[in-house]
Amino acid sequence: MSKQEIPNYSVDYTWVKTKMNDGNEYDLNDPAQRRLYFNKKVGDEIAKLNEFLERDSFVAYFLAPKMAGKGTYTSMLKEVVGGDKIEHLSVGDIVRKTHSEYQEKGKNSDVYNYVKENYRGFLSIEKVFEALINRDTNKVSVPTEFVLTLIKKEIDNIGNKTIFLDGFPRKIDQISYTLYFRELINYRDVKDLFILINLPIEVINQRITGRAICPECQTSRNLKLNPTKHVCYDEECKDYYLVCDNESCSNVRMVCKEGDELGIENIKDRIIEDLKLMEQARNMYGIDKIEIYNALEKDKAYDYVDDYELTRAFCFEKDEKKGVCSRTEPFSIMDNDVEYVSLLPAPALIQLIRQLVYKLGL
């Protein structure tokens, strides 16, 4: 992919510092250790956020390239402040669920009756459901007004929780809807803001090309970034591969998903559109923005974070006696001739927590 197509990655270091120089190290893959870590580094901010969420809520719109970690950040935030206060709504999941329900029950489905009562738009009910069914085969666009109605249905079911909306806005022409989103879906008057996740696109490329899936349980792992306990060497292919360590599977060799060897090429247009959308959001007046950074310049990183906060990349080598041995090193990537090291989700989430407290005036 040419440099002209993808903007260069850059970091605003205002909110990224988590280094404490206190000699402590935490295993950020362990939930108990993460609790200690968050309490140490942003305990006061978490207390303020918890107090706010007990009495109030907000709406946040995630804007980021595909596979940037939106679901991971939301899940970890729910872990920190309590899952009963936050709801992550994936518009893609909502649309797929609606598709399935309508295909099964048609006009007798709950979603059809809800849309019939609540939808407002230029197309008829029949036309919008036809667009829903045909959206993949003929690249038909589902009307934004219809999508808003489906989101409203989900929000009606979950009540007055804080909402992290993933997948809306999805297109440039939808972004202005976010200014009036609360009114459009009859949601109460709460704070709303954009959360923009920034990362070098090569990180996404590595997540795709290294991905391996178990053909039995469909578990997904990554040879370089998230391997299983069992790594083997294929003498014929002269390459390493993962063996699923799920107890329900019987030493199944994990395989690459078809097309993953192409990396980001299959989703290049989507990534470019996502980045344009993020830039458009930055230029909008009247709604706050939070910027999260997934990676730091390598020559600056250790001034801002501790070593254990960096993503580790696994390197393997074959030993005649011991079999396959591994070692780890910070996961680094190049972007426009600058070397960056990737952060684990936890220190990136600290950026989100601190900015939420600030933007909410806590």
| 183 domain residue, yes or no | no
pLDDT recorded at residue 12? 95
| 245 domain residue, yes or no | yes
Residue at 4: amino acid letter: Q
Kindly tell me the sign of the dihedral angle through the C-alpha atoms of 60, 37, 327, 330: positive
pLDDT tens figures, 105-114: 988 989 999 9
pLDDT recorded at residue 305? 96
Average the pLDDT over 67-95 and give the result.
89
| 235 domain residue, yes or no | yes
Query: Prior bond to 169 cis, omega within 30?
Result: yes
Q: Quick check: 240 pLDDT over 60? A: yes
| 233 domain residue, yes or no | yes
Helix (H, G, I), strand (E, B) or coil at 236: coil
pLDDT recorded at residue 177? 75
pLDDT band at 136 (very low <50, low <70, confident <90, very high): low
| 92 domain residue, yes or no | no
Residue at 118: amino acid letter: N
| 156 domain residue, yes or no | no
pTM of the model: 0.88
Average the pLDDT over 279-291 and give the result.
91
Average of per-residue pLDDT values in the chain: 88
| Close Cβ partners of 178 (under 8 Å, ≥ 6 residues apart) | 61, 168, 169, 192, 194, 284, 287
| 301 domain residue, yes or no | no
Q: DSSP string of 320-333?
A: TTTEEEEEEEE-EE
Range of the domain at 237: 211-255
pLDDT band at 219 (very low <50, low <70, confident <90, very high): confident
Q: Quick check: 19 pLDDT over 90? A: yes
Strand segments, DSSP code E, in 158-257 are 162-166, 191-198, 211-213, 220-222, 230-234, 239-243
Q: How many domains does the chain have?
A: 1
Runs of H (alpha helix) within the chain: 31-55, 70-81, 91-105, 110-118, 125-134, 144-158, 181-184, 201-209, 268-282, 298-304, 345-359
CB 361 within 8 A of CB 49: no
Which residue shows structure tokens 């009910």? 125
Q: Quick check: 269 pLDDT over 90? A: no
pLDDT recorded at residue 38? 96
Higher pLDDT, 173 or 187: 173
pLDDT tens figures, 293-333: 999 999 999 999 999 999 999 998 887 777 788 898 999 99
Q: Quick check: 258 pLDDT over 90? A: no
| 188 domain residue, yes or no | no
